[in-house]
């Protein structure tokens, strides 16, 4: 029997049937008079997902990395000073990009398993009375270590120092699954991609930008750019078009995904992710294992990076789950390679699916020599889901005979 591997990597995530079918349609003409009827409402609906109070959203035919680059290229100049922190593979890669694009990075190098160091940021910003720092960067959800950082806290640090720097946030594995309040938190560039909370294939870099970021761009900010240049997109996007051939099929899928998000409601989506993540964390506890995230305040509701016990290679657990139990888990990256395996629990997901992945993990752990008791993790998750189920979902009333 051939069954597609059950996908529990932290993106690309599972694609709901409605989204898949919305893309399984004949190609459409991206220069027709009809096309803006599809695209213009999408730009507006995306603003709701990012909870923006002003600004606009760009959609690039790229992955999230393209949106990272676009944020920098369109607002900052070579040689500009920026404040960044590095505590996992994705925050590391953003630092690497900033340096390669010629920014002067003031870097907080943090232990992997922690997140954005708010006190250090506050201190550095308070001392920067000449306002040399032009942008502060924060990785909302570090997918490599399963760490969520406090973006409201970064805003507080900026405000306390009365610092005018822009705030750039990587929420590739956050937006659409975790709360992102761009307007309230004063986020100026928020980076995302299609393949995580938006439940689409990879291929769209989604970048939400504030009016302040647009003003910085208009005032001559930025560095040489072409493919990801905001000005070209603004000119065409305003009319519902793109400066080059857009990924029409993915955009059709995005329409369906935004409809699903609206139907469920953002707050319900966040609550669902929190509940499912709690189920995974209950299982991790029951197995006697630890998360890579050092403290509960860092726990991510979209991905859990789980430390393999001393002497056990986490890559072996991932391989065993894949080949023996047809289940894809995330591997450990860079510094935590061989030390952690990751369960992605974001996007289109429910208790049944979480139960399934925990079932596979439990068996793979045992195969790899971890002394887990079958039913311990799955049982703990079931206990949690069962004891909280009535609060989460009302049963339909029985019809009178
Ligand atoms: C937090 C985070 N930032 C950035 C990226 C890079 O995005 P992409 O692989 O879509 O270019 C990823 C990818 O997983 C990510 O998880």
- What confidence score (pLDDT) does residue 397 get? 74
Per the structure block, which two tokens stand in for 40? 């213009």
Residues 85 and 36 in one domain: yes
Q: What is the distance in A from the centroid of ligand 1 to the CA of 167?
A: 18
The residue segments making up the domain with residue 41 are: 17-262
- What confidence score (pLDDT) does residue 24 get? 98
Higher pLDDT, 171 or 401: 171
Q: What is the distance in A from the centroid of ligand 1 to the CA of 214?
A: 23
43 belongs to a structural domain: yes
1 belongs to a structural domain: no
Q: 139 pLDDT exceeds 70?
A: yes
Q: What atom in ligand 1 is closest to the CA of residue 65?
A: 11
- For 345, the enclosing helix (H) or strand (E) is none
Using 50, 70 and 90 to split pLDDT, how confident is the model at 392? Answer: low
Cα 278 to chain center, whole Å?
Answer: 18
Q: What is the distance in A from the centroid of ligand 1 to the CA of 200?
A: 14
- For 33, the enclosing helix (H) or strand (E) is none
C-alpha neighbours within 13 Å on the C-beta side of residue 136: 32
Q: Examine the fold and report which residue of 199, 233, 262 is the final residue of a domain before the chain moves on.
A: 262
- Does residue 209 come out as left (phi exceeding 0), alpha (psi in the -120 to 50 range) or beta? beta
Instruction: Provide the sign of the torsion angle of the four alpha carbons 315, 340, 274, 190, taken in this order.
Output: negative
* Residue for token pair 């997140």: 115
Q: What is the distance in A from the centroid of ligand 1 to the CA of 124?
A: 27
Q: What atom in ligand 1 is closest to the CA of residue 193?
A: 10
Residues 244 and 291 in one domain: no
7 belongs to a structural domain: no
Q: What is the distance in A from the centroid of ligand 1 to the CA of 49?
A: 18
For ligand 1, atom 7, the nearest C-alpha belongs to: 64
Q: 321 pLDDT exceeds 80?
A: yes
Q: What is the distance in A from the centroid of ligand 1 to the CA of 274?
A: 21
- What confidence score (pLDDT) does residue 279 get? 98
Residues 74 and 178 in one domain: yes
Q: What is the distance in A from the centroid of ligand 1 to the CA of 324?
A: 28
Q: 2 pLDDT exceeds 80?
A: no
- What confidence score (pLDDT) does residue 389 get? 87
Residues 302 and 237 in one domain: no
Closest among 142, 74, 147, 85 to 119, alpha carbons compared: 85
Residues with CB under 6 A from ligand 1: 11, 63-65, 90, 139, 141, 143, 170, 172-173, 193, 202
What is the spatial distance between Cα 211 and Cα 222, in angstroms, rounded to a whole number?
Answer: 15
Q: What atom in ligand 1 is closest to the CA of residue 140?
A: 1
The length of the chain is: 401
Q: Are 126 and 112 in contact (CB under 8 A)?
A: no
Residues 193 and 339 in one domain: no
62 belongs to a structural domain: yes
- What confidence score (pLDDT) does residue 401 get? 55
What is the spatial distance between Cα 107 and Cα 14, in angstroms, rounded to a whole number?
Answer: 35
Q: What is the distance in A from the centroid of ligand 1 to the CA of 147?
A: 14
Contacts of residue 141, defined as CB under 8 A and 6 or more positions apart, other chains included, come to 147, 148, 149, 170, 171, 172, 173, 174, 178, 300, 302, 303
Structurally, the chain folds into a number of domains equal to 2
Residues 334 and 376 in one domain: yes
Closest among 292, 391, 252 to 88, alpha carbons compared: 292
Average pLDDT for the chain: 97
Residues 170 and 269 in one domain: no
Using 50, 70 and 90 to split pLDDT, how confident is the model at 3? Answer: confident
310 strand-pairing partners: none
- What confidence score (pLDDT) does residue 157 get? 98
9 belongs to a structural domain: no
- What confidence score (pLDDT) does residue 351 get? 97
Q: What is the distance in A from the centroid of ligand 1 to the CA of 62?
A: 11
Q: What atom in ligand 1 is closest to the CA of residue 11?
A: 14
- What confidence score (pLDDT) does residue 214 get? 98
Per the structure block, which two tokens stand in for 292? 């890579």
**Where residue 79 sits, what CATH number does that domain have?**
3.40.640.10
Pick from 143, 205, 207, 331 the residue to mutate for probing ligand 1's pocket: most ligand atoms within 8 Å of its CB. 143
* Segment 261-312, tens digit of pLDDT: 999 999 999 999 999 999 999 999 999 999 999 999 999 999 999 999 999 9
Closest among 257, 117, 246, 237 to 196, alpha carbons compared: 257
Residues 92 and 156 in one domain: yes
Query: What DSSP character marks residue 109?
Result: E
- What confidence score (pLDDT) does residue 391 get? 63
Mean pLDDT of 218-234: 96
Residues 232 and 289 in one domain: no
323 belongs to a structural domain: yes
Q: Examine the fold and report which residue of 245, 262, 279 is the final residue of a domain before the chain moves on.
A: 262
400 belongs to a structural domain: no
Q: Examine the fold and report which residue of 236, 262, 288 is the final residue of a domain before the chain moves on.
A: 262
Residues 240 and 284 in one domain: no
**Axis crossing angle, helix 35-49 with helix 248-264, rounded to the nearest 10:** 50
Instruction: Give me the torsion for CA of 93, 99, 105, 109, rounded to 10°.
Output: 30
Pick from 64, 72, 85 the residue to mutate for probing ligand 1's pocket: most ligand atoms within 8 Å of its CB. 64
Pick from 90, 142, 190 the residue to mutate for probing ligand 1's pocket: most ligand atoms within 8 Å of its CB. 90
Pick from 193, 207, 301, 342 the residue to mutate for probing ligand 1's pocket: most ligand atoms within 8 Å of its CB. 193
Q: What is the distance in A from the centroid of ligand 1 to the CA of 11?
A: 9
Residues 44 and 180 in one domain: yes
- What confidence score (pLDDT) does residue 395 get? 73
Q: 216 pLDDT exceeds 90?
A: yes
**Where residue 316 sits, what CATH number does that domain have?**
3.90.1150.10
Q: What atom in ligand 1 is closest to the CA of residue 143?
A: 16
Q: What is the distance in A from the centroid of ligand 1 to the CA of 250?
A: 18
For ligand 1, atom 8, the nearest C-alpha belongs to: 64
Q: Are 240 and 35 in contact (CB under 8 A)?
A: yes
Residues 303 and 213 in one domain: no
């Amino acid at each position: 029997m051939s069954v597609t591997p059950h996908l529990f990597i932290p993106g690309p995530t599972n694609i709901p049937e409605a989204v898949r079918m919305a893309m399984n349609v004949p190609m459409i003409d991206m220069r027709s008079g009809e096309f803006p009827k599809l695209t213009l409402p999408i730009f507006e609906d995306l603003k709701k997902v990012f909870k923006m109070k002003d600004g606009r959203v760009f959609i690039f035919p790229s992955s999230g990395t393209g949106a990272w680059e676009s944020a920098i290229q369109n607002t900052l100049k070579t040689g500009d000073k920026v404040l960044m922190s590095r505590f996992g593979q994705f925050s590391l890669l953003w630092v690497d990009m900033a340096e390669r694009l010629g920014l002067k990075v003031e870097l907080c190098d943090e232990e992997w398993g922690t997140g954005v160091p708010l006190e250090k940021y506050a201190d550095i910003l308070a001392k920067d009375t000449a306002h040399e720092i032009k942008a502060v960067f924060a990785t909302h959800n570090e997918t490599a270590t399963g760490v969520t950082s406090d973006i409201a806290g970064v805003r507080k640090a900026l405000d306390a120092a009365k610092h005018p720097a822009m705030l750039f946030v990587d929420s590739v594995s956050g937006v659409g699954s975790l709360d992102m309040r761009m307007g309230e938190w004063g986020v100026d560039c928020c980076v995302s991609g299609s393949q995580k909370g938006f439940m689409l294939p990879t291929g769209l870099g989604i970048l939400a930008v504030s009016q302040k970021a647009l003003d910085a761009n208009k005032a001559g900010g930025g560095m040489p750019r072409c493919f990801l240049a905001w000005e070209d997109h603004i000119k065409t996007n305003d009319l519902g078009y793109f400066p080059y051939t857009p990924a029409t099929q993915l955009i059709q899928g995005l329409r369906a995904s935004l409809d699903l998000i609206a139907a469920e409601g953002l707050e319900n989506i966040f609550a669902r992710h929190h509940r499912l993540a709690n189920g995974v964390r209950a299982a991790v506890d029951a197995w006697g294992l630890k998360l890579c995230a050092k403290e509960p305040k860092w726990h991510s509701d979209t991905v859990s990076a789980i430390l393999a016990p001393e002497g056990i290679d986490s890559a072996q657990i991932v391989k065993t789950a894949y080949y023996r139990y047809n289940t894809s888990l995330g591997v450990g990256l860079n510094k935590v390679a061989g030390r952690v395996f990751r369960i992605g629990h974001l996007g289109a997901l429910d208790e049944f699916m979480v139960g399934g992945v925990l079932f596979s993990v439990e068996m793979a752990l045992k195969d790899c020599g971890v002394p887990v008791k079958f039913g311990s993790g799955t049982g703990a998750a079931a206990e949690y889901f069962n004891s909280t189920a009535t609060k989460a979902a009302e049963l339909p009333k029985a019809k009178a005979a």
